[in-house]
Amino acid sequence: GMNHLGELTRLCEIAEPNIVVVTNVGRAHIGELGSQEKIAQAKEEIYKASGPETVQIFNLDNEWTMAMQARSKAQQIKYSSFNNMADVYMRAERLTWDGLDLTGHIRGIPGHTFVKVLGRQNTANLMCASAIGLAVGMDPDSIWDALATIQDSAWGRNQMVPLSNGARVLFDAYNANPDSMSVLLKNLFEMDVKGRKFFVAGDMKELGTFSEDAHEEIGERAGGIGFEGIWYVGEFANAFARGLAKSHKPKIFLSSASADPQTAKEFAKNFVAGDLVAVKGSRGMHLETAVESWPLKA
């Protein structure tokens, strides 16, 4: 990983990678690096510090990684949801709580498959994985076949956790930044649930002087989703609440310094069968403590 300049250069010296990719340049670690320009500079080190025989994979759907691709003279594999001339081109035709309907082509070989991962943002991850498959010598048909075998997400990444009362938890609290929070909220807005929607939001770390504005921005976005209730965990509850006030405040709003089990149990009294509870915050907020306090389905 990286959150300072020079770290990826050093990691390339150690690992001497054969295949490299920057999946995205967003606002994660902006508090450490100071700007998206610096974030992009730090991430581009993985391309600049890799050897001449390294295969470089590029995301053509991000302005920063597009610029990196234009500067690169190495062997390239490109992926995109908008440019059908890319080596890997995929679009999510349909989103459900069970997964994605993907269609597109891999090196000109068309395909259509259902993949059991949640959220439109995973289209980019699946394209990246497919590009890596090409880089290690897999043929396109084998990649299409493999996509269909993917199972549930890893711990804390869009993980569906059923509760004993029939509600479901979307546990996405492995980590968080303004971009990943916005993606989660967009998914929650786009996708229907049988019951009501709840949100447990935690602080987003490593934002430095951008913290207040970022949490206010996410609060405003959250207000537009139509949550029945929100529980905010962390020190930026006031900034989040200011954002909510600009949009729409839910019927229930709680805040606390930590994900303490008592508050978790109080909040869970509102859940009934068919409800969806989204949980997201930075790793340091330990929001799994709240989920572990709820009646999980055996």
Residue 257 has pLDDT above 80, yes or no: yes
CA distance 44 to 40: 6
Supply the pLDDT for residue 171: 96
| Tokens 């490593």, located at residue | 206
CA dihedral (167, 171, 176, 178) positive or negative: negative
Q: Is 139 helix (H, G, I), strand (E, B) or coil?
A: coil
With cut-offs at 50, 70 and 90, classify the pLDDT of residue 10: very high
Measure the CA angle with vertex 280, ends 191 and 203; round to 5°: 140
**pTM as predicted:** 0.80
Least Cα distance to 269 among 279, 258, 254, 248 occurs for 254
With cut-offs at 50, 70 and 90, classify the pLDDT of residue 226: very high
Dihedral angle, C-alpha 180, 36, 217, 268, nearest 10 °: 30
Least Cα distance to 225 among 263, 196, 202 occurs for 196
Q: By CB neighbour count within 10 A (0-12 exposed, 13-18 middle, 19+ buried), where does 35 fall?
A: exposed
With cut-offs at 50, 70 and 90, classify the pLDDT of residue 31: confident
Q: What is the mean pLDDT of residues 210-238?
A: 97
With cut-offs at 50, 70 and 90, classify the pLDDT of residue 255: very high
Residue 191 has pLDDT above 80, yes or no: yes
Residue 256 has pLDDT above 80, yes or no: yes
Do the beta carbons of residue 72 and residue 87 sit within 8 Å? no
Q: What is the mean pLDDT of residues 162-185?
A: 95
> Would you list the DSSP string of 155-181?
TTSSEEEEBTTS-EEEE--S---HHHH
Residue 34 has pLDDT above 90, yes or no: no
Weakest mean pLDDT among 38-47, 91-100, 250-259: 91-100
CA distance 130 to 121: 15
Do the beta carbons of residue 220 and residue 246 sit within 8 Å? yes
Supply the pLDDT for residue 32: 79
Supply the pLDDT for residue 295: 93
What token pair was written down for 154?
Answer: 């890893």
Supply the pLDDT for residue 45: 97
- Reported as type and span, the H/E element at residue 245 is helix 237-246
Phi/psi of residue 4, each to 5°? Answer: -145, 155
Other CB atoms within a 10 A radius of the CB of residue 258 amount to 14
User: pLDDT tens, 141-167?
Assistant: 999 999 999 986 788 988 999 999 999
Residue 202 has pLDDT above 80, yes or no: yes
Query: Which tops the pLDDT comparison, 45 or 208?
Result: 45
Other CB atoms within a 10 A radius of the CB of residue 156 amount to 17
Supply the pLDDT for residue 132: 98
Least Cα distance to 176 among 287, 255, 256, 92 occurs for 287
Supply the pLDDT for residue 41: 95
Percent of the chain at pLDDT > 70 equals: 99
CA distance 199 to 170: 9
> Would you list the DSSP string of 70-135?
HH--S-EEEEESS-TTSSEEEEEEEEETTEEEEEEEETTEEEEEEE---STTHHHHHHHHHHHHHH
Supply the pLDDT for residue 57: 98
Mean residue pLDDT across the chain: 94
User: pLDDT tens, 83-137?
Assistant: 999 999 999 998 888 899 999 999 999 999 999 998 888 999 999 999 999 999 9
With cut-offs at 50, 70 and 90, classify the pLDDT of residue 13: very high
Residue 60 has pLDDT above 90, yes or no: yes
